């Protein structure tokens, strides 16, 4: 790794530079981009889980005043590349899951489009479907690789023999349900097709303009430079906007069908439960074995999860178990059930979040079985090198997080046995869990810096800001790299007319984009000095980091939770949450704290509320709105505090920073479940923790 960035702006609590535009309504989100004479698109969706469209009656819809076009598989334009079945929209009569797009209506208003979509008559040839995930299925299989390229299974030593001879063992099964991302801004795309030039523009809500273009251009048969994707402001994503979905293809087809008119599509909240992915449900068997001193000798983590028959997505659920704690004998496996469901997708800390829930609840159970304090048990099993790769860690300050959090939270006052504290009819308990997230790196981001006549530096890179603070953090990094005030930086992001940038995913954004900006700034200064002439320019790609092959790189944290459980009703309240993190140098304390608190709040929601319920008779998610899919609200979130230890990782990137967007959620659900056990003596192993699980 080349030299660390000298920081002056980095580390300052600079308020969000995009804040005033957002609160005054001047920041255009995808649906608000100004276009002339738009038409509006509403999907027609399948109401069966598997089969074929036998016939379609569009007459009533086409007769409705204001309808511009009705699209079905019978009249839709042919795609240039439909090899990816997820994007094979309206190319055949096949139905692969409930809610699949089988048509669309384009109209002069969104209301007319929605009404007409409901008037399209469809007859089906219904086939038997299967949407139930079970661990005892005979058709489970091992995928070739997991999401992010991880190997499916790993094994070191003789796990079964070590478990058999261990002084203390546990063997439990943990479960997490299907969950849906549900960002505040729904998935939205505005497609503008210029038939004369053969160019298409997509104003889109996404996590990366270039990944959207790279995927969709061959599908549409358009040269990449003729497909522009614009997304400077995005109202949340949590992973489900990381790559194109079927609705992107639908709106492109609609734009072709009505040349000369931009086509707007904003999915409804209900449609998002069908069309944009979800976190796969998991069934996880965790077995731990320890010696008489409480040191782990064996770890086995076997995962069963679902994918779609339409297209495989294999979540990397057991991967954190491979690196988290020391044990000479260890095994992880993943098995998939291919079902008649929509395709799963990324959801904040994919794989790591459900996997660490199971692993950290199991660690709590094992600590009790060994007669050890849960923090002491974790410290006793700290690895000296990465158990998965054998590499040294670039930095690993989990122990410091645990010790600092214990002091701040008052862990020493914790009762040694469950159900020992009762206050005014509430059972009170506290719990802890560790968290980790890998230091992913995605190569390829490029930054260009241009010095203007106004004496300001235009920093151009097609990065994404999904509400995380990218506008502000990259400005700070650029200011330090150029050794100038932040007021002299003019950042441009979110557009494929800018230099290429990788996706905002895997907590990689600031690291990859920031590294490219630092490289461009150093090239600029080397070529033009500190007194550049107007028009001076430099370009650089994110450099290769050779330390990636020499060190294991991860962020760490420790979450502490205090809960109150009503002894009569089982109602659960999380009265305190504390997260202490080791995430390298903090670029901006304001935006960092926002991300960490947001992640912990989402973990609270996962622990107590979130569960998508599928009706096996029809294959549909039945609780498909915020009235029935419960997420944490202000009333559920009491005292949440996020802090960090002083750390700089010189091996990861020039800023010394690690990703923070996802680690906040990772250990939170486990900490809450462990606190519920401490309060009640009842161990819940299936999320969410609802009152019925705590009552006799």
Sequence-ordered list of residues with C-beta below 8 angstroms from that of 454, at least 6 positions apart, any chain: none
pLDDT band at 677 (very low <50, low <70, confident <90, very high): very high
Q: Give the other-Cβ count within 10 Å of 189's Cβ.
A: 30
Structure tokens at 41: 């698109």
Contact 230, 201 (CB under 8 A): yes
Phi, psi of 232 (to 5 degrees): -70, -25
Phi, psi of 53 (to 5 degrees): -80, 115
DSSP code, position 118: T
The Cα 228–Cα 248 span in angstroms is 13
Q: What is the CA radius of gyration of the chain?
A: 26
pLDDT, tens only, 518-549: 999 999 999 999 999 999 999 999 999 999 99
**Number of residues written out for the chain:** 696
The string of DSSP codes covering 507-568 is: T-HHHHHHHHHHHHHHHHHHHH-SSPPTT-EEEEEPPP-GGGGT-B-EEEEEEEEEEEEETT
Structure tokens at 130: 């299967």
The Cα 413–Cα 421 span in angstroms is 11
Tracing tokens 């006549």 back to the chain, one arrives at 453
Read off the pLDDT of each residue in 69-95 and give the average, rounded to a whole number.
98
Give the per-residue pLDDT at 161.
Answer: 98
The Cα 180–Cα 189 span in angstroms is 20
The Cα 332–Cα 467 span in angstroms is 35
Q: Is the predicted pLDDT of residue 495 greater than 80, yes or no? A: yes
pLDDT, tens only, 97-147: 999 999 999 999 999 999 999 999 999 999 999 999 999 999 999 999 999
Contact 101, 90 (CB under 8 A): yes
- If we measure between CA atoms, which residue out of 280, 15, 291, 275 comes closest to residue 167? 291
Contact 494, 230 (CB under 8 A): yes
Contact 351, 319 (CB under 8 A): yes
Q: What does each C-alpha distance from 37 to 221, 247, 558, 672 come to in angstroms?
A: 26, 21, 53, 51
The Cα 223–Cα 217 span in angstroms is 6
Phi, psi of 213 (to 5 degrees): -65, -45
Q: Is the predicted pLDDT of residue 1 greater than 70, yes or no? A: no
Helix (H, G, I), strand (E, B) or coil at 121: strand
Read off the pLDDT of each residue in 410-416 and give the average, rounded to a whole number.
97
pLDDT band at 513 (very low <50, low <70, confident <90, very high): very high
- If we measure between CA atoms, which residue out of 187, 249, 263 comes closest to residue 220? 249
The Cα 634–Cα 580 span in angstroms is 22
Beta-bridge partner residues of 287: 171, 300
Q: Beta 639-644 vs 572-582: how paired, if at all?
A: parallel
Helix (H, G, I), strand (E, B) or coil at 330: strand
pLDDT, tens only, 392-409: 999 999 999 999 999 999
- Mean pLDDT across the chain: 97
Give the per-residue pLDDT at 2.
Answer: 61
Percentage of residues in the chain having pLDDT higher than 90: 99
The Cα 309–Cα 316 span in angstroms is 18
Q: Which helix (H) or strand (E) holds 433?
A: strand 426-438
Query: From the centroid of its chain, how far is CA 287?
Result: 27
pLDDT, tens only, 625-669: 999 999 999 999 999 999 999 999 999 999 999 999 999 999 999
Read off the pLDDT of each residue in 588-595 and give the average, rounded to a whole number.
98
Helices then strands, counting H and E runs in the chain, come out as 15, 26
Q: Is the predicted pLDDT of residue 696 greater than 90, yes or no? A: no
Structure tokens at 633: 């609200």
Q: Is the predicted pLDDT of residue 382 greater than 90, yes or no? A: yes
The Cα 289–Cα 296 span in angstroms is 6
The string of DSSP codes covering 439-497 is: -------EEEEEE-TTS-EEEE-----SSSSHHHHHHHHHHHHHTS-GGGEEEE-SBTT
Query: From the centroid of its chain, how far is CA 583?
Result: 18
Query: Using omega within 30 degrees of 0 as the cis cutoff, is the peptide bond preceding 688 cis?
Result: yes
Sequence-ordered list of residues with C-beta below 8 angstroms from that of 506, at least 6 positions apart, any chain: 148, 438, 440, 442, 659, 662
The Cα 405–Cα 576 span in angstroms is 12
Sign of CA dihedral 390, 394, 398, 399: positive
- If we measure between CA atoms, which residue out of 590, 578, 598, 606 comes closest to residue 662? 598
Q: What does each C-alpha distance from 183 to 188, 245, 278, 358, 485 come to in angstroms?
A: 12, 15, 12, 25, 34
Catalytically active residues are: 662
Q: Which helix (H) or strand (E) holds 165?
A: helix 159-165
Give the per-residue pLDDT at 387.
Answer: 98
Q: Dmax over Cα atoms in the chain, in whole Å?
A: 78
pLDDT band at 471 (very low <50, low <70, confident <90, very high): very high
Q: Is the predicted pLDDT of residue 39 greater than 70, yes or no? A: yes
Give the per-residue pLDDT at 179.
Answer: 98
- If we measure between CA atoms, which residue out of 43, 46, 29, 39 comes closest to residue 95? 46
Structure tokens at 10: 């980095």
């Amino acid at each position: 790794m080349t030299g660390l960035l000298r920081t002056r702006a980095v580390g300052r609590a600079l308020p969000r530079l995009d804040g005033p535009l957002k609160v005054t309504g001047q920041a255009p989100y995808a649906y608000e981009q100004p276009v002339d004479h738009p038409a509006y698109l509403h999907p027609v969706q399948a109401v069966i889980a598997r089969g074929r469209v036998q016939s379609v009656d569009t007459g009533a819809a086409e007769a409705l005043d204001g309808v511009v076009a009705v699209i079905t598989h019978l009249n839709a334009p042919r795609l240039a590349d439909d090899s990816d079945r997820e994007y094979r929209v309206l190319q055949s009569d096949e139905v692969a899951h409930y809610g699949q797009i089988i048509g669309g209506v384009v109209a002069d208003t969104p209301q007319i489009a929605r009404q007409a979509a409901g008037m399209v008559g469809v007859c089906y040839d219904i086939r038997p479907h299967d949407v139930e995930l079970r661990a005892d299925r005979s058709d489970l299989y091992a995928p070739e690789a997991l999401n992010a390229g991880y190997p499916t299974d790993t094994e070191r030593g003789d796990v079964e023999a070590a478990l058999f001879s261990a002084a203390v063992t546990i063997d439990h099964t943990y479960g997490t349900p299907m969950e849906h991302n549900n960002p505040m801004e729904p998935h939205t795309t505005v497609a503008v097709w210029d038939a004369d030039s053969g160019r298409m523009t997509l104003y889109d809500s996404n996590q990366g303009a270039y990944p959207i273009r790279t995927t969709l251009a061959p599908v549409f048969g358009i040269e990449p430079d003729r497909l522009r994707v614009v997304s400077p402001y995005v109202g949340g994503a949590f992973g489900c906007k990381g790559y194109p979905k079927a609705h992107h293809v639908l709106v492109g087809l609609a734009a072709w069908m009505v040349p000369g008119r931009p086509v707007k599509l904003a999915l409804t909240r209900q449609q998002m439960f069908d069309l944009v992915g979800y976190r796969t449900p998991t069934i996880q068997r965790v077995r731990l074995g320890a010696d008489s001193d409480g040191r782990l000798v064996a770890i086995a983590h076997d995962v069963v999860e679902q994918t779609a028959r339409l297209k495989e997505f294999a979540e990397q659920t057991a991967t954190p178990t491979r690196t988290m704690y020391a044990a000479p004998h260890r095994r992880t496996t993943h098995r998939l059930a291919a079902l008649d469901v929509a395709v799963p997708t990324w959801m904040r800390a994919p794989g790591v979040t459900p996997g660490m829930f199971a692993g950290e609840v199991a660690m709590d159970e094992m600590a009790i079985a060994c007669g050890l304090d849960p923090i002491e048990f974790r410290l006793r099993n700290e690895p000296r090198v990465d158990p998965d790769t054998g590499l040294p860690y670039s930095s690993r300050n989990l122990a410091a997080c645990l010790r600092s959090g214990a002091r701040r939270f008052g862990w020493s006052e914790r009762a040694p046995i469950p159900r020992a504290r009762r206050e005014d009819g509430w059972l009170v308990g506290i719990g802890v869990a560790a968290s980790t997230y890998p230091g992913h790196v995605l190569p390829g981001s490029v930054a260009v810096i241009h010095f203007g006549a106004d004496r300001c530096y235009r920093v151009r890179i097609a990065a994404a800001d999904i509400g995380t603070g990218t506008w502000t953090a990259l400005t700070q990094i650029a200011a330090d790299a150029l050794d100038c005030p932040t007021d002299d930086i003019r950042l441009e992001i979110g557009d494929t007319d800018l230099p290429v940038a990788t996706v905002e995913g895997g907590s990689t954004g600031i690291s990859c984009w920031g590294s490219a900006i630092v490289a461009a700034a150093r090239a600029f200064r080397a070529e033009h000095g500190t007194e550049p002439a107007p028009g001076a320019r430099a370009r650089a790609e994110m450099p290769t980091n050779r330390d990636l092959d020499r060190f294991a790189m991860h962020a760490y944290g420790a979450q502490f939770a205090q809960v109150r459980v009503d002894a009569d009703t089982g109602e659960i309240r999380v009265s305190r949450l504390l997260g202490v993190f080791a995430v390298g140098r903090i670029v901006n304390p304001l935006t960092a704290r926002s991300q960490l608190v947001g992640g912990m709040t989402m973990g609270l929601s996962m622990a107590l509320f979130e569960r998508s319920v599928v009706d096996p008779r029809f294959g549909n998610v039945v609780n498909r709105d915020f009235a029935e899919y419960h997420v944490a609200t202000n009333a559920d979130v009491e005292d949440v505090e996020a802090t960090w230890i002083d750390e700089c990782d010189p091996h990861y990137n020039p800023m010394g920073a690690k990703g923070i967007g996802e680690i906040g959620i990772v250990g939170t659900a486990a900490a809450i479940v462990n606190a519920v056990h401490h309060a009640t003596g009842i161990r819940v192993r299936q999320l969410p923790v609802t009152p019925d699980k705590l009552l006799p």
